[in-house]
Chains A and B, each alone.
Chain A
Amino acid sequence: MLLLRNYWLGLSAALALLVSGGALAQSPLFTPIYEVLTHPRCLNCHTLTDFPRQGDERRRHDQLVMRGEDNHGAPTLQCSACHQEQNVAEDKVPGAPHWGLAPLSMGWEGMGPRELCTVLKDQSKNGGKDLQALLKHMEEDPLVLWGFDPGEGRTLPPVDHTRFVELLEQWVNAGGPC
């Protein structure tokens, strides 16, 4: 019995240490946002690779499409060679204004919620955006909006855009806890 009690005490202490150290602590306000940001509609172009991905299986983009120096493809095979400002060919070819990859510093692949949250808020990585600017980007950017209305045959993030903005506002108003 004593052994068991010591075991539980030890476990609790270890858990408390992990939480206070941040390894397991995670803001419930960010969790649903994380679920959206890691959906293929967002993550396929927020990669840590030198190419975009496509599909829910997140396969490497067909046709050896590359990131390129400006995140818009190889010099003479730019994203805009195929991607228009809206979906075309009965939604088979997706499109939105300024279609392209997010910069490498804004890649999120393989990250857990805390790490992604930290990277998301890091102004040295996110293009100098404070919390309000992040909210504005995700509220208004047409490429972000496309992710919530991607057209026939593509799965949607777990919440719609209106709800996503509500969740972001709650997170921003709370100071952006990770």
Chain B
Amino acid sequence: MFTIRVNGEDHTVDVPEDKPLLWVLREDLKLTGSKYGCGQALCGACTVHVDDQPTRSCVMPISAAEGHNITTVEAIDQQQIGRLVQQAWQELNVPQCGYCQSGQVMAATALLTENRSPSDRDIDEAMSGNICRCGTYARIRKAIHKIADEQL
């Protein structure tokens, strides 16, 4: 049995200790916003925040998640910057197929929370672990700059 704090609420789950956090979120807690992409921390689709740090939930065993504050895309609008990111994403039509975008939103929110005026280089270094097969990178960059320039 493991108790994890997700989006401000404690949840106790009876799962094997090596079950990845992603599958606890998706299967046990029915929080399906975080996506399964590669299962090897290579694509970023499964990105959640663990104590405010973007983390690949597909490779984090549930045993390692216990005792930490986990935030998923379902609650990112509870944060001012998360809300701004989602709004900018809509205004600029950032997503195409959308599959990677919850991970992109989580990474961008963490970046802008840590750095309110990121350079292109800062964006590259923070976001390069989040792969988009549709190639929406130019719109992602534009949206991050728009938030930084106009709203922070």
Interface residue ranges, A against B (CB under 8 Å): 62-66, 74-78, 80-82, 84-85, 88-89, 92-93
Contacts and interface: CB of A to CB of B under 8 A. Distances in A.
10 contacts: A64-B128, A76-B53, A76-B107, A77-B125, A77-B127, A85-B64, A88-B60, A89-B39, A89-B59, A93-B40
Nearest to A74: B125
B147 to A, nearest CB: 15
Interface string B57-75: 0111100100000000000
B126 A82 contact: no
B28 interface: no
Interface string B108-133: 00110011000000101111110000
B56 interface: yes
Nearest to A64: B128
Nearest to A92: B40
B55 interface: yes
A75 B126 contact: yes
Nearest to B129: A63
How many chain B residues sit at the interface, stated as a range, is 20 to 34
Contacts of A89: 39-41, 58-59
B42 interface: yes
Contacts of B125: 64, 66, 74, 77
Contacts of A64: 124-125, 128-129
Contacts of A74: 122, 125-126
Contacts of B111: 75-76
Contacts of B56: 81-82
B40 A81 contact: no
Given A80-B55, A84-B59, A65 B129 contact: yes
Contacts of B124: 64
- Residue among B20, B115, B128 with most chain A CB within 10 A: B128
A64 B126 CA distance: 9
A93 B41 contact: yes
B53 A93 contact: no
B115 A81 contact: no
B64 A84 contact: yes
Contact of B114 (A63, A75, A82): A75
A66 B124 CA distance: 10
Candidate in A64, A77, A80, A85 with the most chain B CB atoms within 10 angstroms: A77
Contacts of A75: 111, 114-115, 126
Contacts of B110: 76
B54 interface: yes
Given A84-B64, A89-B39, A89-B40, A77 B126 contact: yes
Contacts of B58: 89
B114 A81 contact: no
A77 B60 contact: no
Nearest to A90: B40
B59 A76 contact: no
A76 B126 contact: yes
B42 A62 contact: yes
